[in-house]
Amino acid sequence: MLYFSALAFSLLYTSYALSLISPLDSDVGPQPVPVTQANVLGPVAELHIANEVISPDGFSRSAALANGVYPAPLIRAYKNDRFAIRVFNELTDDTMPLDTSVHWHGISQRTSNWADGVACVTQCPIRPDEAFLHKFTATGQTGTYWYHSHYSTQYCDGLRGPLVIYDPADPLAYMYDVDNENTVITLSDWYHTPSIQLAGIFGAVTANSTLINGRGRYPGGPLQPLTVLNVTQGLRYRFRVIAISCDPSFNFTIDGHRMTIIEVDGVEIVPVEVDSIPILAGQRYSVVVTADQPVGNYWIRSINNQANQTFDDGQNMAILRYDGAPVQDPTSAPGPYELTFDESALHPLINPGAPGIPEIGKADVNLNIVPGFNTDPGLFLLNNVSYVNPPIPVLLQILSGARHPWELLPNGSVYELPPRKVIEISFPNTGAAPGGPHPIHMHGHRFDVVRVSGNSSANFVNPPRRDVVSLGNTGDNVTIRFFTDNPGPWFLHCHIDWHLNHGFAVVMAESPREAAAQQAAVIPADWGRLCLPGLAWGQTRLGGFGTLGSPSILG
């Protein structure tokens, strides 16, 4: 058995990080020049992460923002574009985390695990006054994604925004007329208290308001202007709805209008008509809405699942405004609600079907991961283990020779997956983990949900394919399948950030030997520089590593 002390890890990551620094780094030479417009960036861009005082719901607070705006700017790309996004850490407000990292949610990062942006799993955090260039190609991927901090609970302080990859040959383009930066809809919770303080709560954390495209109202607060989406009667709009939430899920509706779902988490589906959509943290839906009602104003509603929610005074709402309608608040009534949302009906349009033998328990590797909870001190468990951050990133451990779970930290939270095998993971919901429904996200893969929540039967023919799935309610046993064709350590976690902060995560170390060879050939020098010692990153700041074995979680 191999055991690494904290000192050994320090020496190990210093020597390996130094070995990556070379004057022949691929960043040397002429670099692409970012081209931007207001609140919209291209795939070659700069993100300046800094603290600004904002008041999206009328309450002023310091926040952690990308390029000074909330939500962060839309990153707009086209199929097979090459991304080159340099992240600058200009944070100064020590009431919030000062280190940072940025994760590109839903991007598979094939051959670029190092660019996934997960502090303590695929990289060391970016310290203040430092910068890091993420370079990757989302080969073959199109659809609706987002990006956010993956350090501590920082994205709850504002570092989160949309990312869309447009497909010039979209097979469903015939269904809509309008699809642009004005049809992207972000749903988020907002907090008046810095996340470091909220992360110390071992229990429910309640948002102060719901924001739709960065605007909202809170109980007893001022009647702030709400977001307005303008439409022209007779046209069909592709609205890309993204839950950039830290915690709550939302029920999304538009008064008087039905919606046709055509994409789920970046996967085109056989169109399904609904009149409401439950959307959990991290999930995305593209819906086609036809502006076929009389010219007027209609409420867009996004009620969250926390206690005491209301539509009073425009809370949890935005406005759908037809061209020619008066500039005034809607008087529309909710509904009608006649079509039941059914996750099992979200069938992939292209190449449907789960890999492997079509029977539960007959994959090459079958895992049961059971969520639990330790009431004292209030940590979440997966198979009786609460995730803690390792002293150095899992990827760096693999690059330095560690291969197997007993060699990799954190102990008990790393699962080795063999290459080119069908993996099945079931998540029995015993009701032991409070605060559900829990949205489970896996990095590096889309998976087929062969058994969805609320359904005891399996579907291997055309199951939903996505990257965030609800674990449902007590008695459910959600089951996913995927094929291991993307080497690297991939985070699997609850996307309620307070739960992740309290241990609701594991790492899937996929094909470690292949990952080491593949990543060693492509990692840039700047990646190694992030891990050089000397600034005591993560040891002296709130939200940092603490000591080995500490329950501190950096996300």
| Among 495, 523, 531, 553, the one annotated catalytic | 495
Residue 528: half-sphere exposure toward Cβ, Cα within 13 Å = 20
Is position 150 annotated as part of the catalytic site?
A: yes
| Among 4, 9, 105, 392, the one annotated catalytic | 105
Beta-strand pair 143-149/160-166? antiparallel
| Among 75, 83, 148, 373, the one annotated catalytic | 148
Is position 493 annotated as part of the catalytic site?
A: yes
Tell me the DSSP string of 132-193.
Answer: EEEEEE-TT--EEEEEEE-STTGGGGT-EEEEEEE-TT-TTGGG-SB-SGGGEEEEEEE-SS
Is position 404 annotated as part of the catalytic site?
A: no
User: What sign for the dihedral angle of Cα 514, 520, 524, 527?
Assistant: positive
Distance CA 162, CA 284 (A): 10
Question: DSSP assignment, residue 499?
Answer: H
| Among 4, 103, 134, 447, the one annotated catalytic | 103
For residue 19, the one-letter residue type is: S
Is position 504 annotated as part of the catalytic site?
A: yes
| Among 85, 504, 531, 545, the one annotated catalytic | 504
For residue 99, the one-letter residue type is: D
User: Tokens 């861009």, residue?
Assistant: 45
Cα Rg of the chain (Å, integer): 22
> Which residues lie closer than 8 Å to 460 by C-beta, 6 or more apart?
353, 354, 358, 359, 448, 450
| Among 496, 523, 531, 553, the one annotated catalytic | 496
| Among 319, 392, 480, 494, the one annotated catalytic | 494
| Among 438, 483, 502, 545, the one annotated catalytic | 438
Is position 443 annotated as part of the catalytic site?
A: yes
| Among 257, 347, 443, 502, the one annotated catalytic | 443
For Cα atoms 101, 102, 103, give the angle at the middle one, nearest 5 degrees.
125
| Among 134, 441, 445, 502, the one annotated catalytic | 441
Is position 48 annotated as part of the catalytic site?
A: no
Neighbours of 339 (CB within 10 A): 13
| Among 493, 502, 531, 553, the one annotated catalytic | 493
For residue 172, the one-letter residue type is: L
Is position 499 annotated as part of the catalytic site?
A: yes
Is position 136 annotated as part of the catalytic site?
A: no
| Among 499, 502, 523, 531, the one annotated catalytic | 499
Distance CA 277, CA 287 (A): 10
Is position 441 annotated as part of the catalytic site?
A: yes
Is position 438 annotated as part of the catalytic site?
A: yes
| Among 134, 150, 257, 445, the one annotated catalytic | 150
Distance CA 141, CA 8 (A): 40
Which residues are paired to 301 by β-bridges?
253, 317
User: Tokens 């923002």, residue?
Assistant: 65
Is position 495 annotated as part of the catalytic site?
A: yes
The CA dihedral of 417, 500, 63, 95, to the nearest 10 degrees, is -120
Residue 224 Rama label (left phi>0; alpha psi -120 to 50; beta): beta
Is position 132 annotated as part of the catalytic site?
A: no
Distance CA 540, CA 534 (A): 12
Active site residues: 103, 105, 148, 150, 438, 441, 443, 493-496, 499, 504
